[in-house]
């Protein structure tokens, strides 16, 4: 518990300090010292809202490499979904078939679920509406612009694709 | 160099077209969605203009608009949901 | 190098145009949200990456880093706003034109 607290404060401090340097972009000693003091205060006050589990979880090289690979996998999915929705919007007949489907999710950790939900929302054509838990299993409610499958498992495979397996390698 | 200004004018024209949805939109949600998109298009136009005029001050303005648009959208949606 | 920036900008223009047409044409609020995601992802990301490469060719590194940071910020914050506004639309009683299936309304009928 002690190490979790220290690591979360430390990583929040690094995060705030990077942002400070990026915003000011002057490297005099006064600016740097003021930035360090302010980011330390912000880190101590807000670390418990920002990071809940061990913050050094991601510094494992295998997980970090998977995270970098995930960005490229996600960009490919983003391109495919964007082209699909752009085609639907520019088609004179407007071929849409919207609906809200309930999809099971096999991830356990908070960060994994929020990462999957944000990835699904960021691809055009699907928006995550809500997350519920029933009998120890998590479900997403997803608004889908073209309901191809009404069955839960098949709809889940069509929406999530390979993203869920990639996220399981990063966050469990 | 002129291509930057042409692209940013194109984005501003798209933002003007979206303002039709802001005025007409049947419900508040339509207006919020269109206004959020206008925010993003304005951010892109400001960034391209700052590269054109080589002044970094427009980038700070663009960042502020992005942050304020995000906070405003979140605030209005929480209000509509009845949790505020 | 500069032609790569032009290609990115043209991609951004195309997707922003498609998203705008979608927001103006789609029949109900939820489908308009889907089209506005089109603007928020590749519509902004394409043009911002174009500006990033353009400012790199002008040897202006701090400006390029700030543009990259703005792009990352938009990518991180946009899904949060989309999720919140979709839930708010459902809870404030915005009706969809036609839904082929509505699992949320079946599971929570009183919202």
The answer to whether A15 faces chain C, any CB pair under 8 Å, is no
* C-alpha angle C61-B6-C75 in degrees, rounded to nearest 5: 50
- Please state the domain extents for chain C: 1-107
> In this complex, do B21 and C24 lie within 8 Å of one another by their Cβ atoms?
yes
State the Cα–Cα distance between residues B10 and A126, nearest whole angstrom.
27
Chain B interface mutation, best of C1, C56, C63, C75, highest count of B Cβ atoms under 10 Å: C63
Query: What does the mean pLDDT of chain C come to?
Result: 87
ipTM (interface predicted TM):
0.89
- Write out the DSSP string of C7-53: HHHHHHHHHHHHHHHHHHH-SSHHHHHHHHHHIIIIIHHHHHHHHHH
Nearest to C81, CA basis, from A155, B39, A121: A121
Size of interface A-C (CB pairs under 8 A): 120
Tokens in use for B29?
């949600």
User: Which residue from C30, C42, C99 is facing A82, i.e. has the nearest CB?
Assistant: C42
| pLDDT tens per residue across span A13-65 | 998 998 888 878 778 899 899 999 999 999 988 888 877 777 677 778 888 89
Residue of B nearest to C45 (CA): B44
Distance CA(C61)–CA(B68), nearest Å, equals 26
pLDDT digits (tens, 9 = 90+) for A80-114: 999 999 998 898 888 888 888 888 888 888 888 88
d(CA A103, CA A101): 6
Q: Give the pLDDT of residue A2.
A: 59
In B, which residues are within 8 Å of C62 by CB distance? 56
Res. A155: pLDDT tops 90 = no
Residue of B nearest to C39 (CA): B37
pTM across the whole model: 0.89
Across the interface, of A89, A124, A132, the residue whose CB is closest to C21 is A89
> How far is A18 from chain C, CA to nearest CA, in Å?
11
Give me the mean pLDDT over the C46-57 stretch: 92
**Structure-model confidence comparison of residues C108 and C67, the more confident one:** C67
Q: Which positions in chain A touch C103 (Cβ < 8 Å)?
A: 100-102, 141
- pLDDT higher than 80, residue C99: no
In this predicted model, what pLDDT tens digit does every residue of B15-29 receive, in sequence order? 999 999 999 878 889
In chain C, pLDDT over 90 holds for what percent of residues?
Answer: 37
Q: Is A39 on the interface with C (CB under 8 A)?
A: no
Which residues in chain C have Cβ-Cβ distances shorter than 8 Å to B27? Answer: 29, 89, 92, 94
- Residue pLDDT, tens place only, B60-84: 899 899 999 999 999 999 998 887 7
Using DSSP's 3-state secondary structure scheme, residue A137 falls into strand
Using the predicted structure, report yes or no on whether residue A117 has a pLDDT greater than 60. Answer: yes
Residues of chain B with pLDDT > 90, as a percent, come to 70
Tell me, what's the pLDDT at B71?
93
Query: Mean pLDDT over all residues of chain B?
Result: 90
pLDDT at A9: 87
Cα of A10 to nearest chain C Cα, Å: 21
Task: List the domain range (segments joined by +) for residue B22.
Answer: 2-81
B39, B31 contact by CB (below 8 A) = no
Q: Residue C92 pLDDT > 70, yes or no? A: yes
**Residues of B engaging C, defined by a Cβ cutoff of 8 Å:** 3-4, 7, 10-11, 14, 17-18, 20-21, 27-30, 32-34, 36-37, 40-41, 43-44, 47-48, 50-51, 54, 56, 59, 62-63, 66-67, 70, 73-74, 76-78, 80-82
CB of C24 within 8 Å of a chain A CB? The answer is: no
> Hey, are the CB atoms on B40 and C74 less than 8 Å from each other?
yes
Query: Does residue A129 contact residue A117 with C-beta atoms inside 8 Å?
Result: no
Both tokens of A122, joined, read 């960021």
């Amino acid at each position: 518990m002690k190490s979790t607290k220290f690591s979360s404060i430390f990583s929040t401090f690094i995060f705030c300090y990077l942002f400070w340097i990026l915003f000011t972009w002057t490297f005099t000693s006064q600016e740097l010292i003021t930035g360090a003091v302010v980011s330390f205060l912000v880190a101590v006050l807000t670390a418990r809202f920002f990071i809940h589990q061990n913050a050094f979880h991601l510094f494992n090289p295998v997980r970090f490499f998977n995270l970098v690979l995930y960005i490229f996998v996600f960009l490919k999915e983003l391109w495919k979904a964007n082209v699909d929705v752009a085609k639907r919007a520019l088609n004179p007949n407007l071929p849409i078939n919207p609906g809200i489907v309930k999809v099971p999710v096999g991830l356990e950790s908070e960060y994994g679920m929020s990462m999957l939900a944000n990835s699904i929302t960021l691809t055009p054509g699907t928006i995550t509406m809500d997350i519920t838990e029933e009998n120890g299993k998590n479900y997403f409610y997803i608004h889908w612009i073209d309901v191809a499958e009404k069955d839960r498992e098949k709809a889940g495979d069509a929406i999530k694709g390979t993203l869920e397996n990639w996220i399981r390698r990063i966050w469990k | 160099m002129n291509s930057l200004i042409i692209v940013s004018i194109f984005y501003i024209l798209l933002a003007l077209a979206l303002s039709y949805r802001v005025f007409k939109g049947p419900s508040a949600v339509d207006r919020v969605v269109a206004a959020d998109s206008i925010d993003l298009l304005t951010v892109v136009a400001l960034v391209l203009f700052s590269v054109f005029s080589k002044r970094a001050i427009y980038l700070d303005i663009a960042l502020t608009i992005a942050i304020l648009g995000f906070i405003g959208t979140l605030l209005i949606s929480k209000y509509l949901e009845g949790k505020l | 190098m500069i032609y790569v920036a032009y290609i990115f900008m043209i991609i951004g223009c195309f997707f922003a145009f498609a998203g705008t047409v979608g927001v103006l044409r789609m029949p109900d609020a939820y489908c308009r949200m889907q089209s506005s995601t089109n603007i928020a992802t590749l519509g902004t990301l394409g043009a911002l990456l174009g500006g990033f490469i353009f400012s790199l060719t002008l040897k202006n590194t701090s400006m390029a880093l700030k543009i990259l940071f703005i792009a990352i910020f938009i990518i991180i914050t946009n899904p949060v706003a989309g999720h919140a506004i979709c839930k708010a639309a459902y809870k404030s009683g915005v009706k969809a034109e036609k839904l082929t299936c509505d699992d949320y309304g079946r599971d929570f009928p009183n919202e």
